[in-house]
Structure 1
């Protein structure tokens, strides 16, 4: 049985509780009323797609209206989220219909040239042109087995001190530090006051046995230059205290603040381990410890990027080196992206226009989405047979240009 008889329509504000039921069931997560209220605070019904079968909500896909930092720029991006299908309606093509419908709406609206999401399963979204653009690092630190080095002498950052805070009471300070760093870190999303309150929401059902969210500010005479958010887990065994620190987020404006915050987190009393996810693959912590193996680092997928308006998306970001390349692109879902495109770009700007010249490189929209944040190498995709070089030397030049001086960081799940 297919889903052709099921209606897909725009959601309504008063349907949030029903949608929350569906999403909670689809993801097997306990969602108390505090969680529902937090998620509902950022819900955008006008960007919600509901699949309805004889009065029942059986599918859902939504998007948030936020900005995304990309190499050298901050651009509007559709933050795709809350995608799920009722277990009674699986394997009927409903997800495909919703995702195609959503892509068509984003393209038609013209506000956003790019869509971004976190994938519950990595095999789902490549079918719709999403490429893996940013991985993230997770660490399980044996805190008693490492020491942190001090920053190199001669720094110019003013001396600072740490102050414990209740996170939701210092949003202005947190936002100031975050906004100062956001333009330089691909993968970070904009946070207005509404989004800050969502990020700091602390439903008990989401704590997984840990404490409430704690915060610490790194303050200087010139104002805050860093912050950390974390939880604690109390554990004891036959050898005494064996607690865990769960690091949520560390943001710092300079090496002195960065080292001070991490030293604080990794030396808290009664804790013997610390975990942190959402770290960049170029996380400086890896170069501060005297025994990197004790970080217990592992890598997982993070942000998946879909280029909705390909020429506009490629022209919106900056490039590490000058490049002039004709790319032949295929896109099975958004035909306007299919064709040959001349990308003339560099550190100061870019243009991307239709071309009839012979192509230098060939790829699908998925591979260009994967390379878009500078975290996935076009050359690596070429070595995997996913990108074809048609002019000798063109792939190396394009791959270098698409890179960036900082790797993308998937800082939060949305």
Structure 2
């Protein structure tokens, strides 16, 4: 690393300089409203900066949130804001920041995993992050889509809401659904305020954020959707776009009712949504799912920090009793052979062992397996995991549904 630059913990006074740096790195132009919104969730004590004679030239932070994993929720360091000033590239600053951050989070022992969204996918495998799940984005032709006649939910009660005023109801639904949706992150403290902030400069020419809630028979909120529209007209008439931000429902009829509403908004011909699961139920409700305009993209990356704690925290789809031989060049405490045992009824157990290994893999590829979105068979076929016996926990690491994060943090 460049010896003229020192790494240090950030302070509250560094916030403006950090935002200035990230404006350069991510090509933003944050105004005072954006800075105030970022402060809602800023954690100076968990942020690291690279300091060059008083100037912030590098940064990374870890946000304190939980993540839903197969069968459980775990504390997960949500890593974001990673970047180096364009004047200080190729000096080892990013590597130094990431190494120190990993060491500090692991030493603290509060979070067995870290997660992030990768702006460039070539960067983070060097630090042990594996691609753990993907999302399916849509650019749908709504005029050519119909829900199948047998789809439920046609008689559900819907009501329009102002998302900010209805935040308590949204949070009630979200927390209930999140408990079973792998890849969803908790929203503690002021996260809902941050999530629902709606600066005009971030609307892309669209309307303010809209909300709709679907109530159950007792009048309680059972699901919601957030969206905005962008009005357009062309030589054929109305051509508006519906931009869906979020859909949350754990009842099939409520889920169908919300999508029936979104796909049927008047004067609109297209609908976009960036956070569908690979197995999103919507595609099975429609008569012509190819008109969804589906596109696959990598999403959440997972880094195992405390291997036994991470593997014991989640549940497994099938019984497992296998020995994993794991290599981790950055956190040596993860390296070695680990016997993982679990049944459908009992909590998993992961302990060091001298027994022969069944499978050999890196901590990067173990992170890719962790949420159930990457198959062990695929890693073996790619030569990334090496089978040593026929006892392979391929099915165990899967889950009932594909993981899908529904926000970039």
| SS of corresponding position for 1:403 | coil
When residues 312 and 286 of structure 1 are mapped into structure 2, their CA distance, relative to the original with a 3 A threshold, is: same
Q: What's the counterpart of residue 14 of structure 1?
A: 13
Give the superposition deviation at 1:207.
1.1
1:281-337: CA deviation from partner (whole Å, max 9, x where unpaired):
110011011111100001001000000001110111000000100000000100000
Under a length normalisation based on structure 1, what TM-score does the superposition of the two structures give? Answer: 0.96
Give the paired residue count.
Answer: 407
CA contact 1:166–1:215 (8 Å) conserved in 2: yes
Q: Give 1:158 shift.
A: 12
Contact 1:151–1:259 (8 Å) recurs in 2: no
Quickly say closer, same or farther: Cα 1:399–1:4, change in 2 above 3 A: farther
Q: TM-score, normalised on structure 2?
A: 0.97
Deviation of 1:347 (Å): 2.6
Q: Note the C-alpha offset of 1:151.
A: 5.2
Q: Is the 8 A contact 1:18 1:57 kept in 2?
A: yes
Task: Give 3-state SS (helix, strand or coil) of 1:401's partner.
Answer: coil
SS at match of 1:402: coil
Distance 2:277 2:3 in 1: 42
Secondary structure at the counterpart of residue 43 of structure 1:
coil
Whether contact under 8 Å (1:150, 1:259) holds in the other structure is no
Q: Secondary structure at the match of 1:98?
A: helix
Partner of 1:65: 64
Match of residue 185, structure 2, among 189, 192, 197 = 189
Distance 1:363 1:302 in 2: 22
Structure 1 CA distance, aligned partners of 2:222 and 2:47? 37
Which runs of 4 or more aligned residues in structure 1 lie more than 3 Å from their structure 2 counterparts after TM superposition?
A: 150-153, 157-160
The 5 A counterparts of 1:82-231 are: 82-150=81-149, 160-222=156-218, 223-231=220-228
Structure 2 segments unaligned to the other structure (5+ residues): none
SS at match of 2:395: helix
Moved more, 136-145 or 158-167: 158-167
Which residue matches 1:238?
235
Contact 1:30 1:205 (C-alpha < 8 Å) held by counterparts: no
Match 1:334 to one of 314, 331, 334: 331
Aligned to 1:39: 38
Q: Which moved more, 1:25-34 or 1:334-343?
A: 25-34
Provide Cα deviations, 1:168-199, integer angstroms capped at 9, x if missing partner: 10111101111111111110011125111111
Counterpart position of 2:274? 277
Contact kept, 8 Å, 1:131 with 1:306, in 2: the verdict is: yes
**3-state DSSP of counterpart to 1:404:** coil
* Cα separation, 2, equivalents of 1:195 and 1:150: 39
In structure 2, how many angstroms separate the alpha carbons of the residues matched to 1:228 and 1:151? Answer: 22
Q: Could you tell me how far apart the structure 2 residues matched to 1:182 and 1:17 are?
A: 33
| Runs of 5+ consecutive residues of structure 1 not aligned to the other structure | none
